[in-house]
Structure formats: C-alpha cells, structure tokens
Amino acid sequence: MTPAEIRQTILDILADIAPDEDLSTLDPDRPFRDQLDMDSMDFLDIVMELRKRYRVHIPEEDYPALASMTSTVEYLTPRMKDIPCK
C-alpha cells in the first residue's frame, strides 16, 4: 500500500467508527482527538480494525503514533507497504 492508500484506509475506518463526523475537513497534522469526538475506545477501534482488515498488529507502546493522520500514515507506511490494497 502506498501512503495515499493507507490514508484512504484510515479514512474508511474512521467513517465506520465515527459515522457522525465530517471527515472532509480533517486537518492531517492536527490530532484526531482535537477535531473529532473520539475517546480511548475509538482509538482501540482503529487498532482493532487494522488488525481485522489487514492483520496489522500495533503494540500498545506505539499507540501515540496514531494521534494524527500524518503520524498514523508515517507509522503505518513501512508496516503496510507489502500489503496489497483491497
């Protein structure tokens, strides 16, 4: 997956777990938490969905890397580069 494809993957997951939010105005550099009504259970949903959909396992100590879109894509790019886009 390319960084652009990973970004779209995260947007798809966010659309599922935060269905009331307008994601079109998401600022990639600001924390999700500052822009979206999200709590710790929602972040665990992101982790779970990546595990379910792509078998990507994110250790707990790396959770801070999922703070914003930019940091998430950066973190996931080396881990998902060999995964084909669905």
Partner 1 sequence: MIAPRAEAHRVVITGVGLTAPNGNTLAEFRHSLLSGQSGVTRFETRYFGATVAGVCHFDELRYQSRKDLRRGTRAGSIAIYCAHEALRDAGLDLNRLDRSTIGIYVGVTEHGNVETENELYQLQQYGYDLQFWSHHHNPRTVANNPAGEISLNLGITGPHYTLGAACAAGNAGIIQGVQMLRLGECDIALCGGVSESIHTFGIFASFRSQGALAHHEDPTKASRPFDAQRNGIVVAEGGCLFVLERYADAAARGARIYGEIVGYAMNSDAFDPVLPHADRQAQCIEMALHRAGLSPDDVDIVSTHATGTQSGDVQECAALRRVFGSSRRTRFNNTKSFIGHAMGAAGALELAGNLPAFQDRVCHPTINLDYPDPECSLPGLVAQQPQELPKVDVVLNNSFGMLGINSVVIVRRV
Long-range contacts of 53-59 (CB under 8 A, 24+ apart): 53/9, 53/13, 53/86, 54/9, 54/80, 54/83, 56/80, 56/83
The contact mask relative to partner 1 for 32-71 (x = CB under 8 A, - = no) is: -----x---x--xx--x--xx----x--------------
Q: In this chain, which stretch among 1-9, 12-20, 26-34, 67-75 interacts with partner 1, using CB under 8 A?
A: 12-20
Q: Which amino acid is at 4?
A: A
User: CB-wise, 19 or 84, nearer to partner 1?
Assistant: 19
- Rounded Cα distance, 52 and 70, in Å: 22
Give min distance, CB of 2 to partner 1, in A: 26
User: CB-wise, 38 or 76, nearer to partner 1?
Assistant: 38
Binding site for partner 1 (CB under 8 A): 16-20, 37, 41, 44-45, 48, 51-52, 57
